[in-house]
C-alpha cells in the first residue's frame, strides 16, 4: 500500500467565507471511517425539463468484493443500502435531492425496506421483477407510505399495467428502444399521470427530441457532451477565464502574471476588489489595487476564489451540473494523487479534472481548446486519451471516470495498477462530493 505523507488546501461578496477543506488531502488509514468504506457508491444526475437536477441514481458495490459481477444476496444488498444512508449520510451525495435506487423482486417485499426515508428515496422496480400479486401489494404499501416508485427500463408488456398504475415515474431506455416506441410509451402512460424519464440519453439532440415528445426527466451524459459550433475561436471573455484558471493552478503561483490577467478583465477586477473590501475581512483601510488584494488573500484563498468565479462564467449558458461535475473530478483527482504516489503532481491532476469538460462548456473541440491554451504534455494526453499505457496522470483520470460511471471491474484493475488501496477510494469520493457541492453553492451565491 502507498502510505502518503501527511500534508497541509460567483464570488461570495457579503457572505461569510466558506470553510474550505484543505486542498492537500491528509489520508491516514487509521482515521478513515470503516463503515463508509464498506461500499463503493457513485451518483448519476437526473434532470428535469429546465435542466435542474431532480435527483441522483446511486450505484452501489461492496468494496470487499470488488471483482464480483454484482451483489448476489439481496439481504446483503439491502444492508449495503441502509448502511450507506445511515453511515455515509446521503445528504453528502444527494445535495438536497432524491436517491434513485434499484430494487430486485425479493427486496421489494422485504419489510426492512421501510427503514429508508420515504422523502429521499425513489424505488426503482427493475425490469426483471415479475408483476405477481405479492409484488403488486408490496408496491401499493410502499406508495401508501409515501415512497416514489419508478419502473426501470420499461417497455409495455402484458400484465404490467397493474404495476404501471402504481408508479409515479416510468424510465425508458433510449439505447434499447426505437424512436417510435419512445413516442408510443409517452402517449400511453403520460396521460395516466406518470412522469416519463428518458434514460441513457447521450446527445443534446436526443435530449431535445425527448423533451419535445413530452418526457419529464432525463438521465445520461448528454449534458457533458460538447455541442460543437462552427466558429473555432473561444470568446475573448471566456478565454481570459481559461488563462486565469491555468495560471492559478501552476505549482508556483506567479502573482505578477495573475495580476496582469485580472487587470485585463474589468468585471473580474471589480469582483476581486468588492470581495476583498467586503465585511467578511473587516479591513480598516479599503484596498484599492489588484496587487494588494492578491497579497492579502494568500495563495490558497486566491486559488479558491478564482475557481469560484471563473468556472461558472465559462459554463454560464450550460447546466449547473456541468460545473459541479468538473469541480468533483478536479477534487477527486487531487485527493487520489497522494495515494498514487503523485503528491508532487496534485496541481496537475486538479487541472485535468477541472478542464475535463471544457469542450462541453465552450462548444469547441477539446484538442483545439488545449492548443489555443498552449497546454500540452501529459495533461493534454490525459484529457485527450492519447497517453501511453501506464502513464500515471492519465491513470488517475481514468479511475475518476470509471468511478463516476460505476464501472467497478475496470476500476479495480486501474486501482491495482496505480497501487491505490480500493477500500479508501469511496471515502475520497465522498470528500470530493462534499467539497465540490460546497464551493459550487458558494459560487452560485455570488452570481
The pLDDT confidence band at residue 292, using thresholds 50, 70 and 90, is very high
Give the cell for residue 291. Answer: 496587487
pLDDT value of residue 71 = 46
Bigger pLDDT: 16 vs 192: 192
pLDDT value of residue 164 = 84
Could you tell me if 439 and 334 are in contact, meaning their C-beta atoms sit under 8 angstroms apart? no
pLDDT value of residue 38 = 58
**Are residues 150 and 240 both part of a single domain?**
no
Q: What is the pLDDT of residues 204-238, one digit of tens each?
A: 999 999 999 999 999 999 998 887 765 555 665 67
- Kindly state the average pLDDT of the residues 240-248: 83
pLDDT at 72 over 70: no
pLDDT value of residue 311 = 81
CATH number, domain of 122, equals 3.20.20.450
pLDDT value of residue 396 = 98
**Are residues 413 and 288 both part of a single domain?**
yes
**Are residues 348 and 250 both part of a single domain?**
yes
The mean-pLDDT minimum among 157-166, 223-232, 255-264, 412-421 falls in: 223-232
Length of the chain in residues, anyone?
Answer: 447
**Are residues 323 and 208 both part of a single domain?**
no
- Examine residue 417 and state whether it is found in any structural domain, yes or no: yes
pLDDT value of residue 326 = 92
The pLDDT confidence band at residue 299, using thresholds 50, 70 and 90, is confident
pLDDT value of residue 238 = 78
Which residue reads 491505490 in cell numbers? 420
pLDDT at 76 over 50: yes
- Examine residue 345 and state whether it is found in any structural domain, yes or no: yes
Bigger pLDDT: 133 vs 24: 133
- Examine residue 17 and state whether it is found in any structural domain, yes or no: no
User: Between the CA of residue 328 and those of 1, 74, 186, 280, what are the distances in Å?
Assistant: 25, 31, 34, 27
Give the CA radius of gyration of the chain: 23
* Of the residues 215, 247, 265, the one at which a domain ends: 215
- Examine residue 265 and state whether it is found in any structural domain, yes or no: yes
Could you tell me if 126 and 154 are in contact, meaning their C-beta atoms sit under 8 angstroms apart? no
pLDDT value of residue 8 = 32
**Are residues 293 and 439 both part of a single domain?**
yes
How many domains in the chain? 2
- Examine residue 422 and state whether it is found in any structural domain, yes or no: yes
**Are residues 211 and 244 both part of a single domain?**
no
Most confident of 154-168, 226-240, 274-288: 274-288
Write out the residue range of the structural domain in which residue 411 sits: 236-445
**Are residues 192 and 242 both part of a single domain?**
no
Bigger pLDDT: 389 vs 396: 396
Sign of CA dihedral 67, 69, 75, 79: positive
Could you tell me if 90 and 99 are in contact, meaning their C-beta atoms sit under 8 angstroms apart? yes
Residue 445: CA atoms inside 13 Å, Cβ hemisphere, count?
15
11-29 burial string, b = 16+ CB within 10 Å, else e? bbeeeeebebbebbbebee
**Are residues 317 and 435 both part of a single domain?**
yes
- Examine residue 333 and state whether it is found in any structural domain, yes or no: yes
Residue 76: CA atoms inside 13 Å, Cβ hemisphere, count?
12
**Are residues 208 and 268 both part of a single domain?**
no
Could you tell me if 12 and 275 are in contact, meaning their C-beta atoms sit under 8 angstroms apart? yes
- Examine residue 138 and state whether it is found in any structural domain, yes or no: yes
Q: What is the pLDDT of residues 85-123, one digit of tens each?
A: 766 667 778 888 999 998 888 888 888 888 888 998 999
pLDDT at 275 over 70: yes
- Examine residue 220 and state whether it is found in any structural domain, yes or no: no
CATH number, domain of 313, equals 1.10.3210.10
Please give the share of the chain, as a percent, with pLDDT higher than 70.
81
**Are residues 362 and 245 both part of a single domain?**
yes
Bigger pLDDT: 349 vs 13: 349
Which residue reads 444526475 in cell numbers? 45
Q: How far apart are CA 172 and CA 208, in angstroms?
A: 15
pLDDT at 48 over 80: yes
Residue among 314, 291, 335 at smallest CA distance from 436 = 335
Mean per-residue pLDDT over the chain, rounded: 81
**Are residues 194 and 301 both part of a single domain?**
no
**Are residues 336 and 434 both part of a single domain?**
yes
Bigger pLDDT: 82 vs 130: 130
- Kindly state the average pLDDT of the residues 159-179: 88
Amino acid at each position: 500500500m502507498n502510505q502518503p505523507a501527511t500534508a497541509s488546501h460567483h464570488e461570495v461578496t457579503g457572505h461569510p467565507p466558506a470553510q474550505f477543506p484543505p486542498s492537500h488531502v491528509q489520508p491516514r488509514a487509521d482515521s478513515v471511517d470503516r463503515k463508509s468504506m464498506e461500499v463503493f457508491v457513485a451518483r448519476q444526475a437526473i434532470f428535469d425539463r429546465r435542466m435542474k437536477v431532480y435527483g441522483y441514481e446511486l450505484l452501489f458495490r461492496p468494496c470487499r468484493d470488488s471483482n464480483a459481477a454484482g451483489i448476489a444476496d439481496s439481504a446483503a444488498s439491502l444492508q449495503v443500502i441502509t448502511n450507506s444512508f445511515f453511515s455515509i449520510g446521503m445528504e453528502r451525495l444527494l445535495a438536497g435531492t432524491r436517491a434513485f435506487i434499484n430494487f430486485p423482486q425479493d427486496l421489494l417485499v422485504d419489510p426492512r425496506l421501510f427503514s429508508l426515508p420515504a422523502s429521499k428515496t425513489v424505488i426503482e422496480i427493475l425490469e426483471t421483477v415479475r408483476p405477481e400479486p405479492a409484488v403488486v401489494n408490496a408496491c401499493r404499501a410502499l406508495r401508501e407510505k409515501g415512497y416514489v416508485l419508478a419502473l426501470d427500463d420499461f417497455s409495455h408488456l402484458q400484465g404490467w399495467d397493474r404495476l404501471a398504475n402504481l408508479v409515479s415515474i416510468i424510465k425508458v431506455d433510449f439505447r434499447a428502444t426505437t424512436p417510435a416506441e419512445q413516442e408510443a410509451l409517452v402517449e400511453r402512460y403520460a396521460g395516466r399521470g406518470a412522469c416519463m424519464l428518458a434514460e441513457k440519453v447521450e446527445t443534446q439532440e436526443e435530449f431535445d427530441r425527448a423533451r419535445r415528445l413530452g418526457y419529464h426527466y432525463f438521465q445520461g451524459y448528454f449534458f457533458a457532451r460538447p455541442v460543437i459550433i462552427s466558429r473555432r475561436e473561444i470568446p475573448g471573455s471566456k478565454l481570459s477565464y481559461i488563462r486565469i484558471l491555468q495560471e492559478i493552478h501552476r505549482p508556483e503561483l506567479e502573482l505578477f502574471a495573475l495580476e496582469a490577467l485580472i487587470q485585463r478583465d474589468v468585471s473580474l477586477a471589480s469582483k476581486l476588489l468588492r470581495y476583498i473590501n467586503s465585511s467578511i475581512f473587516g479591513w480598516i483601510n479599503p484596498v484599492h489595487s489588484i496587487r494588494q488584494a492578491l497579497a492579502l488573500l494568500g495563495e490558497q484563498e486566491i486559488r479558491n476564489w478564482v475557481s469560484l468565479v471563473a468556472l461558472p462564467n465559462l459554463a454560464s449558458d450550460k447546466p449547473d451540473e456541468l460545473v459541479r461535475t468538473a469541480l468533483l473530478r478536479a477534487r477527486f483527482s487531487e485527493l487520489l494523487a497522494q495515494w498514487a504516489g503523485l503528491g508532487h503532481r496534485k496541481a496537475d491532476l486538479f487541472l485535468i479534472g477541472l478542464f475535463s469538460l471544457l469542450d462541453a462548456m465552450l462548444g469547441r473541440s477539446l484538442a483545439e481548446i488545449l492548443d489555443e491554451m498552449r497546454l500540452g504534455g501529459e495533461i493534454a494526453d490525459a484529457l485527450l486519451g492519447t497517453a501511453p499505457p501506464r502513464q500515471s496522470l492519465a491513470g488517475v483520470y481514468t479511475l475518476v471516470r470509471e468511478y463516476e460511471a460505476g464501472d467497478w471491474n475496470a476500476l479495480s484493475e486501474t486501482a491495482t495498477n496505480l497501487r491505490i488501496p480500493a477500500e479508501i477510494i469511496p471515502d475520497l469520493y465522498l470528500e470530493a462530493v462534499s467539497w465540490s457541492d460546497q464551493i459550487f453553492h458558494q459560487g452560485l451565491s455570488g452570481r
